[in-house]
């Protein structure tokens, strides 16, 4: 099934655009051991969540679709500016605005971000300013 491949591909895209491979923000992924949030810099908590699934094509090799949400929680510790947080939010939105990720697995999984990401200002939480970016995604794959 293409679920695992889709999640790993989305996490890799987050790292290559927003994390060490791209913009250089510290990125925490779900259940990642050893992450230390920075004290004086904007950082991102990334969650890949499945939401629903269905069969989109019935044939000799059925095609399935998993839908989900990529939540990018952008945090700015007290002392960082709102503009710094908003720069990260804008980059996060641009990074997942109508892109496709060809996973390259045996099932032919393709992750599609076909809806525009949107921000949600949470405000001050635990001494940090927080804005969440929600990016809906679908992953199509064929049964093997």
Partners of 140 in the beta sheet? 65, 110
Partners of 14 in the beta sheet? none
What confidence score (pLDDT) does residue 64 get?
83
pLDDT tens profile 94-143? 999 999 998 887 777 889 999 999 999 999 988 899 999 999 999 888 77
Total-model pTM = 0.89
What confidence score (pLDDT) does residue 5 get?
84
What confidence score (pLDDT) does residue 59 get?
72
- What is the spatial distance between Cα 124 and Cα 126, in angstroms, rounded to a whole number? 7
Q: And the tokens for 111?
A: 């992750």
pLDDT at 29 over 90: yes
pLDDT at 38 over 60: yes
Range of the domain at 94: 3-142
Q: What is the CATH number of the domain that holds 19?
A: 3.30.2000.20
Residues 6+ apart with CB under 8 A from 111: 6, 9, 10, 100, 101, 103, 137, 138, 139
Residue 113 and residue 97 in contact, taking contact as beta carbons nearer than 8 Å: yes
Structural domain count of the chain? 1
pLDDT tens profile 43-60? 999 999 988 777 777 777
């Amino acid at each position: 099934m293409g679920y695992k491949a889709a999640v790993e591909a989305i996490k890799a895209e987050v790292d290559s655009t927003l994390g060490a491979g791209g913009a250089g923000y510290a990125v925490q992924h779900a259940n990642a051991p050893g992450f230390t949030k920075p004290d004086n810099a904007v950082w991102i908590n990334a969650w890949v969540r499945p939401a629903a699934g269905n069969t989109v094509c019935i044939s000799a090799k059925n095609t399935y679709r998993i839908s989900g949400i990529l939540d990018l929680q952008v945090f700015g510790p007290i002392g960082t500016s709102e503009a710094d947080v908003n720069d990260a939010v804008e980059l996060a939105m641009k990074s997942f605005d109508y892109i496709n990720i060809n996973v390259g697995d045996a099932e032919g999984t393709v992750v599609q971000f076909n809806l525009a990401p949107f921000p949600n200002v949470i405000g001050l939480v635990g001494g940090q300013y927080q804005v969440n970016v929600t990016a809906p995604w679908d992953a199509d794959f064929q049964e093997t």
